[in-house]
């Protein structure tokens, strides 16, 4: 029988996280690795979200890899197609394609504590790996609410992250469900062409103006010829966001003046007092993600838009009905209802040392050591794991910190030599989470008076990092071996005893 393929490292996912991990592994001199991707191209978020108006909401010069600057970003907040093209470019420039296995969905990963390795089943075959780096993304599996009557709705239904470009929205009666980051980009993009737009809003977001503009040819040429100018730009964007962190994490009351700016943004576009009342949040700004748009409110003020300030509760034939009884007949329903975040689907597919899945271990809430390792899951780490999300800055900063940690993890295993594995100590995981949750108590995400996707069903914030990106960078610079149990293959343990 043919030997099953074995690699040093298996990376899952080819978004910013997985591609970043691949670049970093190559830089560390590790070439024996694969990237397993369920889709047929790279890009993750930026491949799957192609809805009209899709763009980043952190400026492009910060929302990109520090090791792969792009002097040619076309706009301050570049669109999806440009971010996707950037990730394709990174894949080519760093020669990652030979490592990537497309159409390879990871179905199950099981820890083998005899051989100290992961056995991985994918839709395209099986393999084993010493180390697994799970970069399956925090916002990669769309969540559609279980609305009574949805199955028998006769019209078109899709999620914002799975946009149906073959469906012509022109002149249609459309229900948009949700008012999160995707919905506020979609609404102004489709409002001019649809016949009627009914927006179902459970909670109004705080929306600040978005200062988006084309980056001039002169600026681009400057960044190309004098790369330090692009670095300085990135540094400034980063520094300004870093200075805001204290207000989010320690002094939420200081955010009051930002609320005034957001209110003014709404007042400028919305003249109808009844609509203003519907759109005015009753919680502290920052508690939910602050959204950026200069076109959302003007679109809502157009005569072909209705805002239903109540969640969608039922579908009767082609009528969408809100909890308050209001509703409309529609041809299409678009769900902008977010993703499985605190219930990451990949967690059901990882079976650790004690035969339990990560989902079982995390059923009381996600927990890890330094956002990466989980106790009982040796040599397994996640990129953008628990409590690594940001409310106000670029996730690429956090991903790059985690890549430092991953690189050191692999280095430490090399130094240990032989068949070795590192398993996070339960005490170290508990201590880390205690610190994180202690700091969380004062943050705007926990005290701002809202519910959000940052919180799990028990109300615990298991998604956001309650500090600066600098603090996280420091905390993930190196693996502290005292926080891990060293596992040795039984055969090697015996050899050591015999020696
Ligand atoms: C519309 C949108 C806009 C955003 N804008 C910003 C922004 O402006 N700034 C910011 O900081 N963040 C933003 N984010 C957050 C964004 O998700 C992260 O910044 C980043 O792109 C995450 O990268 P990732 O590689 O971790 O995950 P993803 O990009 O989601 O990639 C995960 C990959 O894993 C693959 N995968 C998943 N499960 C499996 C499996 N079982 N087997 C094989 N492959 C699998 C997926 O197909 C996907 O390719 C945005 C998110 C969305 C949805």
Share of the chain above pLDDT 90, in %: 94
| Dihedral sign from CA coordinates of 328, 334, 340, 345 | positive
| CA 42–ligand 1 middle distance (angstroms) | 11
pLDDT in tens, 210-240: 999 999 999 999 999 999 999 999 999 999 9
Question: What is the average pLDDT across 441-458?
Answer: 93
Query: Whose alpha carbon is nearest atom 19 of ligand 1?
Result: 395
Ligand 1 contacts CB of residue 136 (under 6 A):
yes
| CA 16–ligand 1 middle distance (angstroms) | 7
Is residue 497 very low, low, confident or very high in pLDDT (cuts 50, 70, 90)?
low
Is residue 391 very low, low, confident or very high in pLDDT (cuts 50, 70, 90)?
confident
pLDDT for res 454: 93
| CA 44–ligand 1 middle distance (angstroms) | 5
* Residue 493: pLDDT over 70: no
Ligand 1 contacts CB of residue 35 (under 6 A):
no
Is residue 4 very low, low, confident or very high in pLDDT (cuts 50, 70, 90)?
confident
Query: Whose alpha carbon is nearest atom 33 of ligand 1?
Result: 13
Is residue 498 very low, low, confident or very high in pLDDT (cuts 50, 70, 90)?
low
Ligand 1 contacts CB of residue 456 (under 6 A):
no
Is residue 490 very low, low, confident or very high in pLDDT (cuts 50, 70, 90)?
confident
Interatomic CA distance for residues 150 and 157, integer angstroms: 9
Interatomic CA distance for residues 37 and 97, integer angstroms: 12
| CA 46–ligand 1 middle distance (angstroms) | 7
Ligand 1 contacts CB of residue 180 (under 6 A):
no
- Domains identified in the chain and CATH numbers: 5-141+340-498 (3.50.50.60), 150-211+238-335 (3.50.50.60)
Question: What is the average pLDDT across 401-427?
Answer: 96
Ligand 1 contacts CB of residue 45 (under 6 A):
yes
Name the residue of 15, 53, 81, 91 to mutate for ligand 1: max ligand atoms within 8 A of Cβ: 15
Ligand 1 contacts CB of residue 106 (under 6 A):
yes
pLDDT for res 492: 65
Question: What is the average pLDDT across 253-266?
Answer: 94
* Residue 499: pLDDT over 60: no
Ligand 1 contacts CB of residue 135 (under 6 A):
yes
pLDDT for res 491: 67
Is residue 313 very low, low, confident or very high in pLDDT (cuts 50, 70, 90)?
very high
Interatomic CA distance for residues 398 and 473, integer angstroms: 7
Ligand 1 contacts CB of residue 59 (under 6 A):
no
* Cα distances (angstroms) measured from residue 417 to each of 7, 9, 156, 410: 16, 15, 56, 11
| CA 139–ligand 1 middle distance (angstroms) | 5
27: alpha, beta or left? (left if phi > 0; alpha if psi -120 to 50): alpha
Ligand 1 contacts CB of residue 421 (under 6 A):
no
Ligand 1 contacts CB of residue 18 (under 6 A):
yes
* Total Cβ atoms within 10 A of residue 7: 20
> 135 with 12: CB under 8 angstroms?
yes
Question: What is the average pLDDT across 256-270?
Answer: 95
Mean pLDDT of the chain: 96
Ligand 1 contacts CB of residue 327 (under 6 A):
no
For the CA of 104, the closest atom of ligand 1 is 43
| CA 13–ligand 1 middle distance (angstroms) | 9
pLDDT in tens, 335-368: 999 999 989 999 999 999 989 999 999 999 999 9
| CA 178–ligand 1 middle distance (angstroms) | 20
Question: What is the average pLDDT across 166-184?
Answer: 97
Query: Whose alpha carbon is nearest atom 52 of ligand 1?
Result: 45
For the CA of 47, the closest atom of ligand 1 is 49
| CA 264–ligand 1 middle distance (angstroms) | 33
Q: Which residues contact 8 (CB under 8 A, 6 or more apart)?
A: 30, 32, 33, 129, 130, 131, 410
Question: What is the average pLDDT across 113-140?
Answer: 97
Q: Is the pTM of this model over 0.85?
A: yes
More confident residue, 495 or 128: 128
Question: What is the average pLDDT across 64-86?
Answer: 97
| CA 92–ligand 1 middle distance (angstroms) | 19
* Total Cβ atoms within 10 A of residue 241: 20
Interatomic CA distance for residues 398 and 242, integer angstroms: 13
> Considering only 78-92, 178-192, 485-499, which range has the smallest mean pLDDT?
485-499
* Residue 496: pLDDT over 90: no
| CA 125–ligand 1 middle distance (angstroms) | 24
175: phi then psi, degrees, rounded to nearest 5: -105, 125
């Amino acid at each position: 029988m043919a030997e099953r393929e074995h690699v040093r490292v298996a990376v899952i996912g080819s978004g910013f996280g997985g591609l970043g991990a691949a670049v970093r592994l190559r830089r560390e001199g590790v070439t024996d690795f694969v990237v397993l991707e369920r889709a047929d191209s790279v890009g993750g978020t930026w491949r799957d979200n192609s809805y009209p108006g899709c763009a980043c909401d952190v400026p492009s010069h910060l929302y990109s890899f520090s090791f792969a600057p792009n002097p040619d970003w076309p706009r301050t907040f570049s669109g999806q197609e440009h971010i996707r093209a950037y990730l394709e470019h990174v894949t080519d420039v760093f020669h990652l394609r030979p490592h990537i296995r497309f159409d390879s969905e990871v179905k199950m990963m099981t820890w083998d504590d005899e051989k100290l390795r992961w056995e991985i089943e994918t839709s395209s075959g099986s393999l084993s790996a010493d180390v697994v780096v799970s970069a399956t993304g925090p916002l990669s599996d769309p969540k559609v609410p279980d609305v009574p009557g949805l199955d028998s709705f006769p019209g078109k239904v899709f999620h914002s992250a799975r946009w149906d470009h073959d469906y012509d929205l022109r002149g249609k009666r459309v229900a948009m469900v949700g008012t999160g980051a995707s919905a506020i980009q979609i609404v102004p993009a489709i409002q001019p062409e649809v016949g009627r737009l009914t927006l179902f809003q459970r909670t109004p977001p705080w929306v600040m103006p978005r200062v988006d503009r084309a980056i001039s040819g002169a600026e681009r040429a400057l960044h190309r010829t004098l790369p330090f100018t692009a670095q300085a730009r990135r540094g400034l964007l980063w520094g300004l966001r870093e200075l805001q962190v204290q207000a989010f994490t320690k002094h939420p009351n200081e955010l009051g003046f930002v609320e005034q700016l957001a209110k003014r943004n709404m007042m400028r576009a919305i003249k109808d007092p009844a609509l203003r009342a519907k759109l005015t949040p009753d919680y502290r700004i920052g508690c939910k993600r602050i959204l950026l748009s200069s076109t959302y409110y003007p679109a809502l003020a157009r005569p072909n838009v209705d805002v239903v300030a109540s969640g969608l509760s039922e579908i009767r034939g082609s009528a969408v009905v809100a909890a308050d009884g209001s509703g409309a007949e529609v041809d299409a329903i678009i769900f902008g209802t977010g993703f499985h975040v605190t219930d990451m689907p990949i967690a059901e597919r990882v079976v650790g040392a004690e035969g339990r899945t990560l989902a079982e271990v995390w059923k009381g809430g996600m927990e890890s050591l330094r956002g990466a390792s989980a106790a009982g899951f040796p040599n397994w780490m996640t990129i953008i794991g628990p409590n690594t999300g940001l409310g106000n800055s670029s996730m690429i900063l956090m991903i790059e910190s985690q890549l430092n940690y991953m690189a050191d993890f692999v280095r430490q295993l090399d130094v240990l030599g032989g068949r070795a594995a590192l398993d996070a100590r339960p005490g170290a995981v508990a201590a880390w989470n205690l610190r994180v949750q202690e700091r969380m108590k004062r943050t705007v995400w926990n005290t701002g008076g809202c519910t959000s996707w940052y919180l799990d069903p028990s109300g615990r914030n298991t998604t956001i990092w309650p500090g600066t990106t600098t603090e996280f960078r420091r905390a993930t610079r190196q693996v502290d071996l005292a926080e891990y149990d060293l596992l040795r293959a039984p055969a090697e343990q015996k050899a050591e005893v015999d020696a």
